[in-house]
Chain A
């Protein structure tokens, strides 16, 4: 950084020592650790060397981008998986069911970057419908064209993430629904002469929702998780992309804070899932 030719070795040494003291690196490790915990509790996450500003500010914008992206993904995911999963369970063994089974098995076996690259190749390069990646420009002001460009740039990451999430979720919903449909109360409901619609949606689906609720909770919390690979491929300035960039550039304060953030998030998510489980299923009592 200092390229002044007049500087001698001792000047460098002095600057180095001053920096060591300023960053607190002269203290022992336990002391450094305690300081770090103290700072973190006060919301002081440190300085990002990559972005050259406080970590807090550096991840604000990417977090927003990730959340915006994931809102669409979750809406699409639930809008597709719930009806498809139910229909697969009801029409078990038919062509419809088999199609989705094969679909989920294949997409489940695809690395996310492969789905992303294939989509870029088909939709962005061959058909030229969508941009292959990047962030929308913000210079237009907040008019219709501005939101349209957001949608255009978001489309490919959204499709990729939705396909990835569909694979596991459809199977999960289907299996939960099949379990529910084989219960005795379904036979009772049918023998009472209830219509099939009522049996499926009111009796079976409500009970199938108990295991499915875990997935919904997970989905809601995954709003804040960035998809490192997908965001990197599409150069979407999300939190996963920032993590990858931070690691490649050895921006450790950023990486540490983000891991802390993710860990806290998953603890909260687990906690909330446990509580909801108890709320949805009255048979489960939390001790």
Chain B
């Protein structure tokens, strides 16, 4: 004990000197407050002040208050800064784990010189001039034995071989070495990352022009114009190449369910399922326009002819067919899932289309330095400048991952928080207003009014809460997604009403009410101006604790599907589809993160409520 520095007499004296020094300075500027005894304090302090003071002494309560303010700011400021598009979903991006590194390319790749970059849903693969393969981003699928390998685990053969081409499918990667050997890794549920045996024999005998990875399928285009497609082709029949095209193909633009083929005579053919993608303009089929380059987004195709003219067809969404004015000749073109990119002769990049992941917010660097090459696939875009540096833009990632419809969980949790916190608050306000009315009238008037109101309260109280809340919300919901707050409010008041009544019965007998009555103050005024302020503390504690409860109830009901109606998010209904054991096991972020938010919010409110209750406990004021 003696060794403790705090016990050191010299140190103690020093702090003593310091303290007296500071208090001297303090006395110079601040008027000294006289020390009060408990009774004196009571005489000059309102009860609310005492409560405040007691509360501020409570460490856990302060912690809870800070936590709750953080949650409030996160939800309300966050939803102002990050607006939500309730209709938006992108099933390609479904069930991706949290990660915010989609665009964080390794500096080693830039040092070695970028040859090509290709992106999947949540990762990108790059090939350096030195023949090294780099993968960055987030693992897009859970790893299931036999179905998938990690995209980050580049096979040993690939590391040793001299790779000349790489390409990324949505969730798999293909690499080709200089001896014509093809390697694949990543998701392999349709064998898209494996080389079929009949392709192997072709690879051995023929020169490869291009390898193509796309959504659940892969393709190889040979230098002699033959195209080979494998993977998930059952529904879209992309593996069947029209006989008149086979052997004449010079360029392929691949989309999820379609492919656009550029033939050696400058005409365009399409394969895949019947949709707007297949409606190739006449002039591109009859040879009147000679096409030299192609790019395709999800359901739209952009073609460039030898006159420098652009042709576009397909789905019109996101204005993807409306190319902006182009000041110079087009040098190269590329297409993401919902975006088109043009590289002009003067080194400028023209980019348009959807803006769900801030793709259209182009980095200023892009316009300042001339660009040599653009690589844009899926939602990630990279521009290689002439000085060898790289600029990336597009989807940076999902901080909390995505759900089963490819929606960003971070945004949904922010907005879900706003809805959950609001629904909880309004339901409490409704129930407290009803409770105040019932509690105060019956407490103050007594007699038959009291009897009537309290029996009614008993009836409501006898109704089991959860079953009737579920029943009511199943019946009335539909029109307003947040209908649940009214139901919770209407059912939640009896407990508070009884509490208020009991408290009023206590206050009513006190002398100040007698005095007010003697002065002839009206009943109404006695209730509102004399009694209400005295039970206010109690009501506030009750509101706080009730608020935590109503957050939990809302989450539980929404979880069952009887609360806030989707697509409006709430913390509970984000979890609605998280009940299967597959989600619990593999997609842990979909239930763990929103769940933790509910716990955190309820816990911080409970801490505040507990601290308030203790602050109001007269026993806590005893000194």
Interface residues, chain A, CB within 8 Å of chain B?
105-106, 108-114, 117-118, 120-121, 124-125, 132-133, 225, 228-229, 232-233, 240, 243-244, 247-248, 255, 258-259, 262-263, 265-267, 270
Give the docked Cα–Cα distance between A110 and B598 (Å).
7
- Nearest Cβ on chain A to B373's Cβ, whole angstroms: 45
Q: Say whether B99 faces chain A, with CB atoms less than 8 Å apart.
A: no
Interface string of B575-593 (1 = CB under 8 A from A): 1001101001100100110
**Contact (Cβ within 8 A) A121 B560:** no
Interface string of B480-504 (1 = CB under 8 A from A): 0000000000000000000000000
Give the docked Cα–Cα distance between A284 and B58 (Å).
37
A244/B470 contact (C-beta < 8 A), A105-B606, A111-B552 known: yes
Which of A111, A255, A270 is packed against the most chain B CB atoms within 10 Å? Answer: A111
Q: Say whether B561 faces chain A, with CB atoms less than 8 Å apart.
A: yes
**Contact (Cβ within 8 A) A228 B462:** no
Residues of B near A259 (CB, < 8 A) are 463-464, 467-468, 471
**Contact (Cβ within 8 A) A225 B464:** yes
Interface string of B433-476 (1 = CB under 8 A from A): 00000000000000000000000001001111011101100100
Residues of B near A124 (CB, < 8 A) are 581
**Contact (Cβ within 8 A) B556 A229:** yes
* Closest residue of B by beta carbon distance from A226: B467
Give the docked Cα–Cα distance between A233 and B556 (Å).
11
Q: Is the interface of B mostly helix, strand, loop or mixed?
A: helix
Q: Which of A118, A248, A266, A270 contacts B561 (CB 8 A)?
A: A248
Give the docked Cα–Cα distance between A232 and B559 (Å).
10
**Contact (Cβ within 8 A) B610 A105:** yes
Q: Say whether B607 faces chain A, with CB atoms less than 8 Å apart.
A: yes
The 5 A-B residue pairs with the shortest CB-CB distance, nearest first, are A109-B603, A109-B602, A262-B464, A114-B595, A247-B474
- Between A and B, 6 residue pairs with Cβ closer than 8 Å are A111-B595, A114-B591, A117-B584, A233-B579, A255-B471, A255-B474
Residues of B near A266 (CB, < 8 A) are 462-464
The total of chain B residues at the interface (CB under 8 A) is 38
* Closest residue of B by beta carbon distance from A182: B619
Using A117-B578, A121-B584, A266-B464 as known contacts, list a sample of 14 further A-B pairs with CB atoms less than 8 Å apart, ordered by residue number in A.
A106-B599, A110-B552, A111-B572, A111-B602, A113-B556, A113-B559, A113-B575, A114-B591, A114-B595, A114-B599, A117-B575, A124-B581, A232-B579, A259-B468
Residues of B near A247 (CB, < 8 A) are 470-471, 474, 562
Give the docked Cα–Cα distance between A229 and B463 (Å).
18
**Contact (Cβ within 8 A) B606 A109:** yes
Interface string of B557-573 (1 = CB under 8 A from A): 00111100000000010
* Closest residue of A by beta carbon distance from B594: A114
- Nearest Cβ on chain B to A243's Cβ, whole angstroms: 6
**Contact (Cβ within 8 A) B607 A105:** yes
**Contact (Cβ within 8 A) A110 B599:** yes
Residues of B near A113 (CB, < 8 A) are 555-556, 559, 575, 595
* Closest residue of B by beta carbon distance from A258: B467
Residues of B near A108 (CB, < 8 A) are 606
Give the docked Cα–Cα distance between A111 and B603 (Å).
11
Give the docked Cα–Cα distance between A108 and B610 (Å).
12
